Structures are given as C-alpha cells and as structure tokens.
Amino acid sequence: MEQKDVNGNKCHILLLPCPAQGHINPILQFGKRLASHNLLTTLVNTRFLSNSTKSEPGPVNIECISDGFDSGGMNAAPSRRAYFDRLESVGSETLFGLIESLRSRGRPAHVLVYDPFLPWAMNVAERSGLRSVAFFTQPCAVDTIYRHVWEGRIKVPVTEPVRLPGLPPLEPSDLPSFVTDSDPVVNPDLLPLLVNQHKNLDKADMMLINSIYELEHEEFDWMESRLPLPVKSIGPTVPSTYLDNRIPSDSHYGFNLYTPDTTPYLDWLDSKAPNSVIYVSFGSLSSLSPDQTNEIASGLIATNKSFIWVVRTSELAKLPANFTQENASRGLVVTWCDQLDVLAHVATGCFVTHCGWNSTMEGIALGVPMVGVPQWSDQPMNAKYVEDVWKVGVRAKTYGKDFVRGEEFKRCVEEVMDGERSGKIRENAARWCKLAKDSVSEGGSSDKCIKEFIHQCCK
C-alpha cells in the first residue's frame, strides 16, 4: 500500500512519544508495522535518550529534538511539571525545526503521530501543515475515565462507586489512581498531564488507541460517539513473530532504556517444564517499598515454584540479604530482560505484573495468565479488567491502601497456576490470545484500522 504526495515523495510519518519506556515501545512497534506497508517512518526521540541508549538499526529512522535537558533528561529536571513545561517550550521549537530540516533534506513529513501526553505537538503539526494523529498508550477504558473528567462528568477525587456511560460499574479502588488519590504531591503534577490528553483532541485527524476493539468494544463505541473524529484500535503493538509463537533469533524488538541482563535466562527457561515458571515484573518506573519487596520475596519462596524476577538495578538493594544466592537453585533475579521473549516461552506459566498497559497487552497477546499487583496510574483499572472483564487472571488483595502480603501473593499465584479457576483462566487467556493475533492479521479489526489510518492520513 504505497502512498506518495504530489511531488512523488513517499508518505512520511513522524512518531513522537513521551520520552518513557512504556510510551516509546508501542509507538515504535506501530511505526514498524507502518514501515511494513512501505511507508517512511521516523521516531522522534529526545537528544538525551538517543545519546544514552544504543538504538538498533531497523525499518524506523530516528531523529532527535531537545527536551531542554540534553545531558540529564527527566531526572535532571527539578520536578515532573518543570520537565514537561520545558519539553513543551523547547520541544515545540526543535520539533518545528526538525520538520523544516526534513523538508530541506528532501524527506518531507506528512503526518505527525503524537503522544497526547504532549498535546502541544498538534499545534506544531498545524503550524507545519502536517496531519496530526493522537496515539493513546493506555486502554480505551482509562481514556474514557479521563474524558469524563475533561467533560466535567467526574469530580476529582472520586470517593464513591461510579456508574458512567461506556464503562462497567467501578469502585474507587478500580479507577486510575490520579482520579482517586488525593496525594497533593502527585496529583498537581500528573492529573493534568492525563486529563489534558483530551486538550486539542477534537482538532486531530484521528485518535489511535493501543488496544483491541473486541477487548473493550463498549468503551470504543462510547468514545467514538463523543468525538468528531475517527477512533481506531491498532493493538496489540507486539511484533507478529511473537504472535505466531516464534521467539525471533535476534530478539531486539524495541528501544531499551535499560541494558538487558547478560544472565542466559532463555537457556535457563529451556530447562524448565511447560507452564511451570512464574515471571515477575513491575515495569520500567514502579518503585516498591523495601517492605513490599520483602513480602513478594517471601511469597515467591512460599510458592515453591521456579521464577524469574526483574528487579531493576536501582531497586536491587531492597531485596532481602542473600535472596539471589539462597534461591539460585530455582529462581533468577535479572535487572532487565527481553520481556516478550520470556512471555512467549512455553515454560512461563504465570505473569505477576503491575499491570502497566504494555505489560497487560503483552500478557494478553501471548496468552499468559496474570496476577495483577497494580501500583498507580492506569494500573488499578487494568487489573480490574484482567480479573473481572477478560477473566485472564486475578488481582491481589491489598492490606491497607496498596500493600500486598506474602501469603496473598502466594494464594494468587497458586490460584492462577493450579487452583480451581486455573483451567478457566487458561482457557480465557488462550481465547484472547487468538483474538489478539486475529486482530492484526489480514482483515482483523486492528489491521482494518491501520489500513484506514494509512488511507485517510497518507492520501
């Protein structure tokens, strides 16, 4: 499906993520999918991230803009708000400059696919004469909540159960944490970032959501009914080799902000029986308290099962003393892994996850039953859907606000792997896994949406 402009230039799509692992991964994979349709795609990264990571040569080009913190990125900013303010002022100008420079280099851009965490990007697209398309990295259900806040239908903080159009009945504990959390330090910085995703949105050419229509069709239908623009599902953004149950030999599928551990964890998995290993990961940002880390460690030991636990380098000191050495015969602690390789491995029987949306989609797409231990942001709502809507796992019960005890951790893992409901959960997981694969196959719901995007935005 080749599209060219009046001067014969191939349609060129710029992809602008929020500079964080969970946002770069899906937009980059979407770019790869577009490249397979013979379109020119370019990931726009910050100078800091580009200089501090090794990018794999692939079908998606890489260009840089400045976030105003070229030598330290987000960690160099005095606060999140200060970071995003500066990213807006410096990023707008450098993005405009990049678009001009691409034009003068004979590679004019036609479409800007932007992360709505950066709503100012659509003004740059407008100023530069590009089409603009918002790429939402969280599920439609969560986007629906923020739409309700944006339209004034929900007053924050929510303290009572809610019944809202397009959504199942929800308890406050099921909602994104920023909507219920009255923490004065977190909310002033982060709630506006999430709600302002809807700022300018009506002026965009299209809204893309990294999800699958069938997973949340009522939410998609509601969103489409509220907006004057097409709303399209384009997920899962998991490379098709994994959906075909093949772990590619060169498994560098993304843009890693963390260096993968050199432990030969795939060889180790090869030595384990099918569905016998617990994989535990809390994504790229979550930071557990030392007490919570300790409870998970004791819960893991109590299951008596093999495990791989991702504990990022910055979190290692929270592990109980000698944990790694004492459990070496049945468990591995790695500082970062190629998560899709682990999830796609036949030995992996359970995914203990914080329910970040990428991890949740990856678990669904690869058919791995899950235990949700949500931490913040969209994660409680994703965990609610995992347990009650898609029924592909269970959500750990908390003691107090968000503390999960070791016994509860063990109970959940056993329920998912061997308990009464485990058969049904595995059956559901296999069903959604097939649906995920079908959705991006020729004629599937996401495949059709991707083709509509190309047809409408690259003409």
Active-site amino acid positions: 23
| Residue 285 touches ligand UDX, criterion: CB under 6 A | yes
Among 3, 21, 233, 303, binds ligand UDX (CB under 6 A): 21
Q: How far is the CB of 372 from ligand UDX (least distance, A)?
A: 12
| Residue 29 touches ligand UDX, criterion: CB under 6 A | no
Question: Measuring CA to CA, which residue among 195, 196, 224, 199 is closest to residue 209?
Answer: 224
| Residue 149 touches ligand UDX, criterion: CB under 6 A | no
| Residue 337 touches ligand UDX, criterion: CB under 6 A | yes
Footprint of ligand UDX on residues 237-256 (CB under 6 A)?
Answer: none
Residue with tokens 């944006």: 150
Number of residues that bind ligand UDX (CB under 6 A): 24
Q: What are the CB-based long-range contacts (under 8 Å, 24+) for 367-371? A: 367/429, 367/430, 367/432, 367/433, 368/279, 368/343, 368/429, 369/393, 369/416, 369/417, 369/422, 369/425, 369/426, 369/429, 370/394, 370/416, 371/395, 371/396, 371/409, 371/412, 371/413, 371/416
How many Cβ atoms are within 10 Å of 232's Cβ, its own excluded? 22
Q: How far is the CB of 407 from ligand UDX (least distance, A)?
A: 26
Give the nearer residue to ligand UDX in terms of CB position, either 21 or 306: 21
Rg (CA), the chain: 21
| Residue 310 touches ligand UDX, criterion: CB under 6 A | yes
419: Cβ–Cβ under 8 A, 6 or more apart, which residues? none
* Stretch of 216-224, 281-289, 313-321, 386-394 contacting ligand UDX, by CB under 6 A: 281-289
| Residue 379 touches ligand UDX, criterion: CB under 6 A | yes
Please give the backbone phi and psi of residue 301, each rounded to the nearest 5 degrees, phi first.
-60, -40
| Residue 22 touches ligand UDX, criterion: CB under 6 A | yes
* Stretch of 78-86, 161-169, 358-366, 434-442 contacting ligand UDX, by CB under 6 A: 358-366
Helix-helix angle 217-226:140-150, to 10 degrees: 30
| Residue 19 touches ligand UDX, criterion: CB under 6 A | no
Half-sphere exposure of 384 (CA within 13 A, CB side): 21
Footprint of ligand UDX on residues 152-211 (CB under 6 A)?
Answer: none
| Residue 358 touches ligand UDX, criterion: CB under 6 A | yes
- Enumerate binding residues for ligand UDX (CB under 6 A): 21-23, 25, 137-138, 281, 283-286, 310, 336-339, 356-359, 362, 377-379
